[in-house]
Homo-oligomer: A and B are copies of this chain.
Amino acid sequence: MADNRPIGVFDSGIGGLTVLREIWDMVPGEGTVYFGDNGRAPYGTKSKSTIIKYSLQNMRFLEDQDVKMIVIACNTASAHAYKVLSEKADIPVIEVVTPGARAAAKATRNGKIGIIATKGSVNSGVYKDAVERYSAPGTEIYQQACPLFVSLAEEGWWDNDITAAVCREYLTPLKEAGIDTLVLGCTHYPLLSDAIRKFMGSDVVLINAGKAVAEVVRDTLNAGSLASDGIDPVRAFYTSDEPELFEEIASPFLGRGLPAGTKHFNTDRYEV
């Protein structure tokens, strides 16, 4: 018996599209409803209580779209709000921190792992804890907040001199620590992969959690008998700012043209 309800995916804005593209590639027959909270983005500089409130509102909206699963496609929201959301939901909730942490623990050869993320994610300590949980004892973990990276990704400065200088500023301590694995702990960062790789050197493995998250989605669908019949899957997009603005900036993150018809919705009308 197929379950043709779509998968609900939310993010603070457009960064989660780097996760959505991996879900589309991994389970192409599944429908998806994406909500980008662009009207309140970014989340990375905001407090835990605020992010929990926004995430609960976003989840309520996706539940109202009759989704069969929630994907928190935002590292800051995953770090701060996953626990609350998974307790409140009657459907599976997938977050992006654990899959990336597990992939990093698996990838390292020298036991030195770096994590770059927003201030919110770094301060939460959730990423560090997750990497530790999956790593051999004695693994050394180095965290670095990289607040400018989000602006650079959104400005389209993915690999220029300024981005190189910002990489040098943020990443020098990680390079000097001799890490061999670096978690891109924010959904914006994959767009800066080339610049990050140039600075860190090609020996350092960059972990983009998107693919690992898509694997968890696939496994959860299979384990829960939630897979669809693959016929004509829906591809819906909602944003809390203006659809035109969303459509203007989305494509580089999605890695392809965005289907037309993004709709506006304010999740702030949900009392949580």
Residues of A within 8 A of B (CB): 38-41, 45-50, 147-148, 150-152, 154-155, 157, 161-162, 165-166, 169, 240-242, 244-245, 268
Complex CA distance for A154 and B119, rounded to whole angstroms: 12
CB distance from A61 to the nearest CB of B (A): 15
Closest 10 CB pairs of A and B: A47-B242, A151-B151, A268-B268, A40-B40, A162-B165, A39-B50, A47-B245, A50-B241, A47-B241, A148-B151
**Interface SS majority for chain A:** helix
A–B pairs, 26, beta carbons within 8 Å? A38-B46, A39-B40, A39-B46, A40-B40, A41-B45, A45-B154, A46-B241, A46-B245, A47-B244, A47-B245, A49-B242, A50-B240, A50-B241, A147-B151, A147-B154, A147-B155, A148-B148, A148-B152, A148-B155, A148-B157, A151-B151, A162-B162, A162-B165, A162-B166, A165-B165, A268-B268
CB distance from A199 to the nearest CB of B (A): 14
CB distance from A5 to the nearest CB of B (A): 29
Given the interface contacts A40-B39, A242-B49, does A161 sit within 8 Å of B154 by beta carbon? Answer: no
CB distance from A189 to the nearest CB of B (A): 15
Residues in B neighbouring A150, C-beta threshold 8 A = 151
Residues in B neighbouring A157, C-beta threshold 8 A = 148
Residues in B neighbouring A45, C-beta threshold 8 A = 41, 154
Complex CA distance for A237 and B147, rounded to whole angstroms: 25
Contact A50 B147 (CB under 8 A): no
CB distance from A233 to the nearest CB of B (A): 29
Residues in B neighbouring A241, C-beta threshold 8 A = 46-47, 50
CB distance from A157 to the nearest CB of B (A): 8
Complex CA distance for A45 and B147, rounded to whole angstroms: 16
Complex CA distance for A192 and B15, rounded to whole angstroms: 28
Complex CA distance for A166 and B150, rounded to whole angstroms: 15
Residues in B neighbouring A40, C-beta threshold 8 A = 39-40
Residues in B neighbouring A46, C-beta threshold 8 A = 38-39, 241, 245
CB distance from A246 to the nearest CB of B (A): 9
Residues in B neighbouring A41, C-beta threshold 8 A = 45
Complex CA distance for A71 and B28, rounded to whole angstroms: 51
Residues in B neighbouring A169, C-beta threshold 8 A = 162
Contact A242 B50 (CB under 8 A): yes
CB distance from A253 to the nearest CB of B (A): 14
